[in-house]
Structure 1
Amino acid sequence: MTVPPLPAAVLWDMDGTLIDTEPFWFAAETELVGRFGGVWTHEQAIALVGSGLRDGARVLQQHGVDLLVDDIVAWQTDFVTERLVAPLPWRPGALALLAELRDAGVPTALVTMSVRRMAEAVAAALPFGGFDVVVAGDDVAQPKPHPEAYLLAADLLGVAAADCVAIEDSPPGLAAAVASGAATIGVPHQAVLPEGSRWRLWPTLDGRGPQDLAAVASELRLA
């Protein structure tokens, strides 16, 4: 039996995939809308999972937050970053898989719609060497579900996106990764992810290794 080659790189979403920051984002949105006399529901928060922060800020403006988009993004980022204290809430299996990829010599990129200062803080908190590349929301003109961030990450790594595996947890992120051409694995967390022929869903990263990623990439390319 032929063993499929390891991916040229693995491209990781951050919030909800690498680290469980979504409850902090939900709390930030709830507090900010509440300060302006509004009510923010869990369903509304779920609907923003994976979206660009500026897009989300515009939604919060529609719910009464009387601040500029940049000010909303900065306030939310400060709120969430202040709550990222040790021990960080890494998602199950994420650190082990990252470590195995580094040991196997597979390049990795962090591809997030959070701003760079937060993304770099999370990458620096890894208990081993960080990502080879970080692409943040303020590095791209088009947020997820547009594939720009994934295409940029692959380009910075010097590989084709079609030769990479991407790991996501949200519908916008899933759409962005698939549109980039990467073999995409969805790991649902807060948001529900649909079944589809162009990606695969895993309930968790726990117990998964580089060869599991290679097998999915091979299967999707043959589909």
Structure 2
Amino acid sequence: MKSHVLFDHDGVLVDTELWYFKAGERALADIGVTLDRERYLRDMSDGLGTWAQARAAGVGERTIDRLRRVRDDYYQAYLRSEPIEIEGVVEALEELSSHVRMAIVTTSKRSDFELIHAGRQITRFMDFVLVREDYERAKPHPEPYLTALGRFGASKEETLVVEDSARGLRSAVAAGIDCAVVRSDFTRTQDFSQATHRIDALGELKRIVVA
């Protein structure tokens, strides 16, 4: 039985990963660089992302710094205009809330996170949220999840991580925490062989945490 659950955010609680990719794709297209999706997913597994391909194409750091701001503006525009809800998430969290304590551990920046959750119900089930500004080394480093364990005062054995990406899975494994990977169309080609559980939806978590 698990008493604490640490949720990744993008792709697990809200359907935002495609829009983050598209924002980067659009920013690079503005300077004539094509962002390859499969390479982006491979880079993301190693804790990289959009700018690895930009650098490989010869884009300088000053331009990348400018494009980050452009990408962030595009992303926030998508967050305001596109449907990002995942069906059944709120219901699953409500059911779990009577069995476990929960928190979010995300690489999202605080400004994006707050925009996403303005008017949504997800965070009311959480004891706390760790965003990118709350730790030094991002996933796949174990620091984000180890920081959350310390905040809870929970042991690794009584905790479950819920992820949708190989990068997040590697972070959980490095932290020594069991990880359930939820199906995501965006990351379906990544390697999840180290996952403790594979699930299609968050509604399946109850049977794992109360087993």
Same fold per TM (> 0.5)? Answer: yes
Using structure 1 for the length normalisation, give the TM-score.
0.78
Determine if the alignment matches structure 1 residue 196 to structure 2 residue 189: no
Alignment equivalent of 2:208, drawn from 191, 212, 217: 212
Matched, 1:113 2:107: yes
Structure 1 vs Structure 2: percent identity of aligned residues?
27
Local SS of the residue matching 2:32: coil
Kindly report the root-mean-square deviation, in angstroms, between the aligned alpha carbons of the 2 structures.
2.6
Residue 185 of structure 1: CA displacement? 0.4
The answer to whether 1:35 aligns with 2:30 is yes
* Pair 1:193–1:46, CA change in 2 (3 A): closer
* Aligned positions of 1:110-149 closer than 5 A: 110-127=104-121, 129-149=124-144
Q: Give ranges in structure 1 of 5+ residues lacking alignment.
A: 216-223
Distance 2:82 2:50 in 1: 29
State the match for 2:49 in structure 1. 56
Change (3 A) 1:131 1:65: farther
Secondary structure in structure 2 of the residue aligned to 1:161: coil
Q: Counterpart amino acid of 1:59?
A: A
Count of matched residue pairs? 206
1:139–1:91 CA distance, 2 compared to 1 (3 A): same
Distance change in 2, residues 1:108/1:33 (3 Å)? same
Runs of 4+ more than 6 Å apart: none
Identify unmatched segments of 5+ residues in structure 2.
none
Q: Using the TM superposition, give the Cα deviation of residue 56 of structure 1 relative to its aligned residue in structure 2, in angstroms.
A: 2.8
User: Is the CA contact (8 Å cut-off) linking 1:10 and 1:166 kept in structure 2?
Assistant: yes
- Residue type at the aligned position of 1:56: G
Residue pair 2:169, 2:181 contacting (<8 A) in 1 also: yes
Shift of residue 173 of structure 1? 0.4
> Which is worse superposed, 170-179 or 155-164?
155-164
Distance 1:182 1:68, change over 3 A: farther
1:2-81 → structure 2 map (5 Å cutoff): 5=1, 7-49=2-44, 52=47, 55-56=48-49, 58-62=51-55, 63-66=57-60, 67=62, 71-81=66-76
SS in 1 for 2:108: coil
- The 8 Å contact of residues 19 and 88 in structure 1, kept in 2 or not, is answered as no
Contact 1:21 1:80 in 2 (8 A): no
Counterparts of 1:167 and 1:28 in 2: how far apart (Å)? 25
